[in-house]
Amino acid sequence: MRVLVLGGTTEASALAGLLAGDARFDATLSLAGRTSAPRAQPLATRVGGFGGIDGLVRWLRAANVGAVIDATHPYAARMSANAVAACAQTGLPLGSVVRQPWQQRKDDNWCVVPTAEAAAAALGRMPLRVLLSLGRQELHAFAAAPQHHYVARTIEPPLQAALPPDLKLLQARGPFDRDSEMRLLKTDEIDIIVSKNSGGSATYAKIEAARELDLPVIMIARPVKPAGHILDGPQEALAWLHGRAPASRRGV
């Protein structure tokens, strides 16, 4: 059975490894193209958008896809909405790997906001030293609060023309551990962290370090993300696909 995996996450990479070793599936991994040098994958890989819902429908039909797995980032709401609509049009089953969000503890100091723009406003007027841990796509939102010193950690440099004037870039790819996050926060004398609630373990260490140092975190809430059949992770996604593969229905 031909499978399309919408990826860009650690869960998608893990599922790619599982599918590559399973002869029942001919899978393609699709990446949005947010990074110029993504990690090599064991599956056939395509990079870039499909051209909206209609483009995705055409691709699914041309590739004779039998099932779709949405393992995109928790903030990739548009791609997930397109996947739901395209699978409805084509009658294809859609499984959605949903990573659980981080839960605020009693000893966490979080301010939850809906957008990056709201996060910039929530920093206030007093100059602060801010760690931005939200990727490179929305750094321009903090140009509206130029009084702060920003340390932005991204996989690749931002492409926007308008950026905060006092911005230090750190290029790094997770996972990160608690000790290295503690060193970063202390060395750069960070006062506050701005983060997306990405969930998972790869970047949670900064939340643990902030808790230990009693630093506040401005947490950008997740968008409403349409989904198909909810799956907890790669293993459950593979089992779900097994139940839809023609060979498994014949008991082979």
Strands of the sheet with 217-220, listed across from one edge: 110-113, 217-220, 192-196, 129-133, 149-154, 167-171
Beta carbons of 165 and 146 less than 8 angstroms apart: yes
Flag the least confident range among 56-60, 70-74, 90-94, 173-177: 173-177
Q: For residues 9-24, give the mean pLDDT.
A: 93
Helix (H, G, I), strand (E, B) or coil at 29: strand
Distance CA 112, CA 220 (A): 6
In terms of Cα–Cα distance, which of 193, 211, 190 is closest to 122? Answer: 193
* pTM beyond 0.85: yes
Q: What one-letter code names the amino acid at 130?
A: V
The pLDDT value recorded for residue 249 is 43
Q: How confident is the model at residue 32 (pLDDT cuts 50, 70, 90)?
A: confident
Q: At which residue do the structure tokens 């979080």 appear?
A: 110
Q: How confident is the model at residue 173 (pLDDT cuts 50, 70, 90)?
A: confident
Q: What one-letter code names the amino acid at 58?
A: R
Is it the case that residue 252 has pLDDT exceeding 60? Answer: no
Distance CA 139, CA 134 (A): 8
Q: Left, alpha or beta for 103 (phi > 0: left; psi -120 to 50: alpha)?
A: beta
Is it the case that residue 250 has pLDDT exceeding 90? Answer: no
Exposure string over 49-65, b if 16+ CB within 10 A, otherwise e: ebeebeebbebbeeeeb
Query: C-alpha angle 16/27/39, rounded to 5°?
Result: 40
Q: For residues 21-41, give the mean pLDDT.
A: 82
Strands of the sheet with 67-70, listed across from one edge: 44-47, 26-31, 2-6, 67-70, 94-97, 229-231
Q: At which residue do the structure tokens 């966490």 appear?
A: 108
| Strand pairing category for 217-220 and 192-196 | parallel
Is it the case that residue 57 has pLDDT exceeding 60? Answer: yes
Q: For residues 173-185, give the mean pLDDT.
A: 93
Relative orientation angle of helices 10-20 and 234-242, to the nearest 10 degrees: 40
Q: Identify the CATH assignment for 110-220 out of 2.70.98.60, 3.50.50.60, 2.120.10.30, 3.40.50.720.
A: 3.40.50.720
Flag the least confident range among 38-47, 62-71, 159-168, 235-244: 38-47
Report H helices in 10-150.
10-20, 52-62, 77-90, 116-122
DSSP state of 202: S
**CATH 3.40.50.720, domain 2-99+224-249, yes or no:** yes
pLDDT tens readout for residues 212-241: 999 999 999 999 999 999 999 999 999 999
Residue range(s) in the chain whose domain bears CATH number 3.40.50.720? 2-99+224-249, 110-220
Task: Tell the burial category of 125 from Cβ atoms under 10 Å away from its Cβ (0-12, 13-18, 19+).
Answer: exposed
